[in-house]
Structure 1
């Protein structure tokens, strides 16, 4: 009898483990579920008003740190993400929001950030804040940024990560989009997250 109970216990454990291992999707992006904190911040939107994750609760949100004078990484990333959203079924596109956080508050006023994100399309929220708040937020997601030495015109470069963090409708960290991912792969992951949120 005890041997039967033991066998049933082992069988039950194996079934549970099998269910756990197959419960998550095979993502194209890096799965960061449980490895990063939930989406949490209070920043300034392009209209000058405070903005928090609750303002777009229920939507899949992509968090990207950059700056409007960025010559390469930022525009390429923004265009890539927008093209990925455009590849999704039309009924799903409004359920994804890109959060562009400028880490150059000295030059990037809310108005300037607004003009920048408007260039790339809809469903993009431009955000910024003071440097201390931005550094705290960057540290929360294990990244950083820095400023180069100003030239004779006062212009300077800003170093920052090209990481894109993806959060589900409940604000839980789910994915880290890899730089080598294709637009179709990004679109596929976003579509899966939207579907999961509807279940």
Structure 2
């Protein structure tokens, strides 16, 4: 499946990240993770953006919640809606535990993704999803912070364009610590398994 026309170098970037930092690293204090364990390899959750209600928010506003951070955009033709639909199913499978998690959908297309647009989009998938946007420089800084990547395609004749972007999901614990990374090669079962563990650990892990 085409991943928002993600260029080969973007895919290689993610593969390199997995190879260099994550290969064979699945244990953490006796916990058997099934996703890629990035504990100690990535910085804490930190940002200053605008949520889909138009409110200025920071990472501190989500302390106490397990955060699933994903970079995408509302005009994405394929991978973004598919990913958010899968995350909704994951949340359903977690049952009441899912109330301790938040999906943070960060737009890499802030020019078109206003708070109103983001609100309608994320709420069509899951009530625990939050759309985040803001100045382009803040989005770029956050993307670089987690070694993600995106690039805007040239405008077409109708003025429309697509944005190529990485497709990993970053999981942070309730303390804002980067813990896990999910890539398209990981299964829904693996994410449910690890989120169940992460949510059960609470904010004292």
Task: Tell me the TM-score normalized by structure 1.
Answer: 0.86
Task: Give me the CA root mean square deviation.
Answer: 1.3
- Report how far residue 47 of structure 1 moved: 1.4
* Aligned-partner SS, 1:162: coil
Please report how far the alpha carbon of residue 91 of structure 1 lies from its aligned counterpart in structure 2 after TM superposition.
2.4
Question: Structure 1 residue runs of 4+, over 4 Å off?
Answer: none
2:70 aligned with 1:64:
yes
Matched pairs, number = 178
What is the CA distance between 1:124 and its match in structure 2?
Answer: 0.6
Residue 42 (1) aligns with residue 48 (2): yes
The structure that has the greater radius of gyration is: 1
CA distance in 1, matches of 2:58, 2:89: 25
1:5-60 residue CA offsets vs partner (Å, 9 max, x unmatched): xxxxxxxxxxxxxxxx7724221110000000000001001111101122221110
TM-score normalised by L of structure 2: 0.83
Give secondary structure in 1 for the equivalent of 2:103.
strand
1:177 to 2:182 alignment: yes
Instruction: Give the alignment of 1:179-198 within 5 angstroms.
Output: 179-197=184-202
Residue segments in structure 2 that go unaligned for 5+ positions in a row: 1-26
- Name stretches of at least 5 consecutive residues in structure 1 with no aligned partner: 1-20
Q: CA deviation at 1:134?
A: 0.5
Partner of 1:92: 97
- Using the TM superposition, give the Cα deviation of residue 153 of structure 1 relative to its aligned residue in structure 2, in angstroms: 1.0
Task: Answer whether contact 2:119 2:131 (CA < 8 A) is retained.
Answer: yes
Return the alpha-carbon distance in structure 2 between the equivalents of residues 170 and 135 of structure 1: 23
Q: What corresponds to 1:122 in structure 2?
A: 127
Q: Note the 1:1-199 alignment, pairs <5 A.
A: 23-88=29-94, 90-197=95-202
Residues 72 and 105, structure 2, Cα contact 8 Å, conserved in 1: yes
- Report deviation, 1:198: 6.3
